[in-house]
Amino acid sequence: MNSVELAVTVAGSGPGLVLLHGWPHTRRVWERVIAALARDHRVIAPDLRGLGDSARPATGYDAATLAGDIAGLLDGFDLPDASVMALDASVPAAFLFAMRHPERVRRLVLMESLLTPLPGAEEFLAAGPPWWFGFHAVPGLAEKVLVGHEAAYIGWFLEAGTTGPDRIPADLRAAFVRAYTGAAALRGGFSYYRAMPENARLIAAATAASRLRVPTLALGAGSVGSALHRQLSTVADDLIGRVIPDCGHIIPLDRPEALLAEVVPFLR
């Protein structure tokens, strides 16, 4: 559907399952769970546009365009539908895809993100949005400041997103840092933050027109907690909410067994 080249990992056979990573990750964020998920599914895990080994177009980081990327993946693999699992920055696109094309989404799993402007996150946002949202949103600023300091900056988020330093092996941490090193790579990641106002408009329009009819699992952890579930409860017809205890923001790496215990039965 969209003209963008995405690097993709494919594993297993059966019903389709698309895995969408967040920031500052690549598709390798799923490597501790992909083998188990591939026992029952044809798993398709792309690097999002602008990130990892995928192409870095100048535009197209809004949820509507990214939803088109999801449709393009399904079309490219001749899949009429699939389950979709999204973490962090990819959640708005997965949500919008399910809203616009419910016939193409079997099951939806959304993790550790917010869907502005839906109500339900007031407690989470009581002290204001996280500080980096504003820093990343200023066009051109963050990449100019951070070039040459990527390891320290990306490393801080990786450490803050897990419950212990051993949760992300050194080689994977280094791979994530490499994926966000240099002005162009940083800009691709920050473009997701710069699209937030447009995403809020898109989500408001979608939820004003219809409800989320796809069976949905909202998973939280030590960062977002139950806020996403509360937001989705205002628009979803078939919703389960879970919070994984003693777990950091990067659920697939921090608590892969707990993640599988929630999603495998749900996807079946």
Its domain, for residue 179, covers 8-267
* Contacts (Cβ under 8 Å, ≥6 apart) of 11: 34, 35, 37, 38, 42, 43, 45
Give residue-wise pLDDT tens across range 121-137: 999 999 899 999 999 99
- Exposure pattern of 122-161 as b/e (b: 16+ CB <10 Å)? eebeeeeeeeeeeebbeeeebbeebeeebeebbbebbeeb
Task: Give 206's pLDDT tier (boundaries 50, 70, 90).
Answer: very high
Q: Is residue 1 part of a domain?
A: no
* Residue 30: CATH number of its domain: 3.40.50.1820
Q: Please check whether residue 3 lies inside any domain of the structure.
A: no
Q: How confident is the model at residue 2 (pLDDT cuts 50, 70, 90)?
A: confident
Question: Between 119 and 165, whose confidence is greater?
Answer: 119
Coil, strand or helix: which one is 11?
strand
Q: Is residue 160 a part of any domain in this protein? A: yes
CA dist., res. 126 & res. 99, Å (int): 28
> Does pLDDT of 211 surpass 90?
yes
Does 46 fall in a domain?
yes
Q: Is residue 118 part of a domain?
A: yes
* pLDDT tens column, 6-27: 999 999 999 999 999 999 999 9
pTM above 0.95, yes or no: yes
Tens digit of each residue's pLDDT (9 = 90 or more) over 48-95: 999 999 999 999 999 999 999 999 999 999 999 999 999 999 999 999
pLDDT classification of 1: cutoffs 50, 70, 90: low
Number of structural domains found in the chain:
1
Which segments of 21-66 are extended strands (E)? 42-46
To the nearest whole number, what is the mean pLDDT of the chain? 97
> Could you tell me which residues come within 8 angstroms of residue 258 by beta carbon, excluding any fewer than 6 positions away?
244, 247, 251
The reply to whether 40 falls in a domain is yes
Q: What is the pLDDT of residue 222?
A: 86
pLDDT tens per residue across span 154-198? 999 999 999 988 899 999 999 999 999 999 999 999 999 999 999
The pLDDT tens digits of the residues spanning 212-261 come to 999 999 999 988 999 999 999 999 999 999 999 999 999 999 999 999 99
